[in-house]
Amino acid sequence: MGSKLIIILAFLTSYSFVAHAISVEREQELNQEFKAYCDQVSKYVIKNHYSVTCDTDYHHYNSRAALNHYNSNPDHDIKIANYNLLHPGSNKNSYKDIALVAQIINEYDLVSAQELIPRLGNDMRHNNDLVDMIEDTKNYDLEKLYKIPGYILILEELRKLDPSWALITSPRGEASSPSSVHEMLGFFYRASIVRPKETEHCSELATKNDREDANTSFACYPLFRAPFFRVDAADGFSRKPFVSSFESGEYDFTIMNAHVIFTSPKDEETMSWISNLAFGVDDYSQVGTGVTKETYARFAEVRLTLEMLEIFSKNYKEQDLFFSADMNLESKISYWQTLMGDFNSFTLISELPTSLTNYRYGRGDVETNGFSSNYDHFIYNNKANKNCITDKSGKIEVTRQSYFEDHVDEWMRENYLAREETSDADEPYRFSSKGKKIMERKLQEHRQFLEESRIIVDGKIVAQFEDVEKELEIYKRRVFDEQLSDFTYYKLYRELISDHFPISITCKN
């Protein structure tokens, strides 16, 4: 019972902002508690298939991959991506095609990933009850009933494509309130091309905390607390950035990964506290043009992160610095010019739309082509990073992967796209003959999944889904029926992949 309580508490108490501030000691306790979850996954899921390091500063899956696969003379330039994966493994995103997500990630060598989550709610309770049952009965065949975290499922699929794939995640999930989903951050990396290296700041923190493995500190949450930072700013984030360092051939770099808050707090006390913390004013309206009630907390988190990057550039040897994130901010907002002027050693890049829209048509009945907001960006130290390929303006060049072309489009057409257009304005789409066969096949596959799924209730293993027909109806509606409307034309891509597209840069190594 003790381990069960510990793991549940980790997700109910790890929250931020001034009204919910937690101490350094409590953060360390939470890291230890979440380490228990990593240990549990390692023992009952991964076993001896590959090495796992469950650290209090980070979790490292396939941790010996670089020792086994790294080539100091890589055969191609390194491609670095940023990708919001939209809660893989959550029940709300249970239709996600993990194999397809892995194929998309496999286009790159290092992926800075957001919205990773452990198993939550009933799945977490099931896993804890299952562990108790296994330990009591010594029936290790029950391990196959363990609900595997989505990020591990992705890693398993990646390793089928290339066994050198590995993953470093943050040591715990964070959110702005107890009721919000507590998200982790992570770095998927292809160890044959790129490997983790010591992050100076993290080693410094590990040494300060009397950590035995201080010389191998690859990653950590940066210390947003005085005296290292100008003030105690850790509680100014809904989810703090997570930092790690890597090398590929002769190129090495440090990268901060973040998912910036979307919904800015609206209570006056918190609004004033955040405005003062990040901008030195009492009200967001005093910050500058483009900062609104909706965006002030987003810009506050970005500004605090830029301050940390500036500290890194002044205090550590590594100058090839990146900030890659879903920033929930459009690059066209006028305040960016002021902000980046305050940090003129750093440059914001990516003006490409990176979010998915459900709608086929936007204003004026113009085709959206599936793209929406420009939320995902890189920020880099423009005094360094000379290895990275630039565009005509001299900035590092950013590309975006689409879901509507090449291998992703082929996969979708083969496995999910079931519609065809008609000439009837009242009923513009219908299921094609091929589409009906696709739908029949996928419904049968999902039925089998539903019928075979098991969960522990009151100490007994029972069917997880009591009404299979109802679940099938929901699946059919969300994956297939909604293809037949202009208002949900692209929604299946959200269900199956993500509501964001990956963006990337390429650097010579």
Residue 11 is predicted with a pLDDT of 44
Angle, in degrees to the nearest 10, between helices 406-415 and 433-452:
80
Residue 212 is predicted with a pLDDT of 55
Q: How confident is residue 2, by pLDDT bands cut at 50, 70 and 90? A: very low
State the CB neighbour count (10 A cutoff) for residue 436: 13
Q: How confident is residue 18, by pLDDT bands cut at 50, 70 and 90? A: very low
One-letter amino acid at 282 equals D
Whole-angstrom Cα distance, residue 150 to residue 135?
24
Residue 207 is predicted with a pLDDT of 79
Q: Do 229 and 207 form a contact (C-beta atoms < 8 A)?
A: no
User: 13 or 94: whose pLDDT is higher?
Assistant: 94
The answer to whether residue 382 scores a pLDDT higher than 90 is: yes
Average pLDDT, stretch 182-195?
A: 97
Domains and CATH numbers, the chain: 2-195+246-264+323-409+496-507 (3.60.10), 418-479 (no CATH)
Give the up-direction half-sphere exposure of residue 445: CA atoms within 13 A in the CB hemisphere. 11
Residue 19 is predicted with a pLDDT of 42
Whole-angstrom Cα distance, residue 104 to residue 312?
32
Q: What is the pLDDT of residues 118-171, one digit of tens each?
A: 999 999 999 999 999 999 999 999 999 999 999 999 999 999 999 999 999 999
The answer to whether residue 16 scores a pLDDT higher than 80 is: no
The answer to whether residue 5 scores a pLDDT higher than 60 is: no
CA distances from 394 to 244, 347, 466 (A): 26, 11, 59
The answer to whether residue 3 scores a pLDDT higher than 70 is: no
Average pLDDT, stretch 182-199?
A: 97
One-letter amino acid at 180 equals S
Residue 13 is predicted with a pLDDT of 40
Q: How confident is residue 176, by pLDDT bands cut at 50, 70 and 90? A: confident
Annotate 396-433 with b (16+ C-beta within 10 A) or e (fewer). bebeebebeeeebeebbeebbbbbeeeeeeeeebebee
DSSP string, 346-398: EEEE--S--BB-S-SB-GGG-B-TTB----EEEEEETTS-TTB-B-TTSSBP-
Q: What is the pTM of this model?
A: 0.94
Q: Give the helix ranges, DSSP H, for 241-282.
A: 268-279
Q: What single-letter DSSP state applies at residue 43? A: I
The answer to whether residue 338 scores a pLDDT higher than 70 is: yes
Q: What is the pLDDT of residues 275-320, one digit of tens each?
A: 999 999 999 999 999 999 999 999 999 999 999 999 999 999 999 9
User: 333 or 175: whose pLDDT is higher?
Assistant: 333
Q: Which two tokens stand for residue 401?
A: 């992967």
The answer to whether residue 34 scores a pLDDT higher than 60 is: yes
User: 86 or 33: whose pLDDT is higher?
Assistant: 86
Residue 175 is predicted with a pLDDT of 86
Q: How confident is residue 219, by pLDDT bands cut at 50, 70 and 90? A: very high
Whole-angstrom Cα distance, residue 333 to residue 260?
16
Annotate 245-270 with b (16+ C-beta within 10 A) or e (fewer). bbbbbebbbbbbbbbbbbebbeeeeb
Residue 135 is predicted with a pLDDT of 95
Q: How confident is residue 181, by pLDDT bands cut at 50, 70 and 90? A: confident
Whole-angstrom Cα distance, residue 189 to residue 83?
13
Residue 14 is predicted with a pLDDT of 42
Residue 180 is predicted with a pLDDT of 81
Averaged confidence pLDDT in the chain: 93
Percent of the chain surpassing pLDDT 70: 94
Q: How confident is residue 9, by pLDDT bands cut at 50, 70 and 90? A: very low
Placement of tokens 């893989």 in the chain: 88
Q: How confident is residue 23, by pLDDT bands cut at 50, 70 and 90? A: confident
CA distances from 222 to 168, 297, 312 (A): 15, 19, 10
Whole-angstrom Cα distance, residue 472 to residue 474?
5
The answer to whether residue 214 scores a pLDDT higher than 50 is: no
Q: What is the pLDDT of residues 242-274, one digit of tens each?
A: 999 999 999 999 999 999 999 999 999 999 999
Residue 209 is predicted with a pLDDT of 67
Q: How confident is residue 385, by pLDDT bands cut at 50, 70 and 90? A: very high
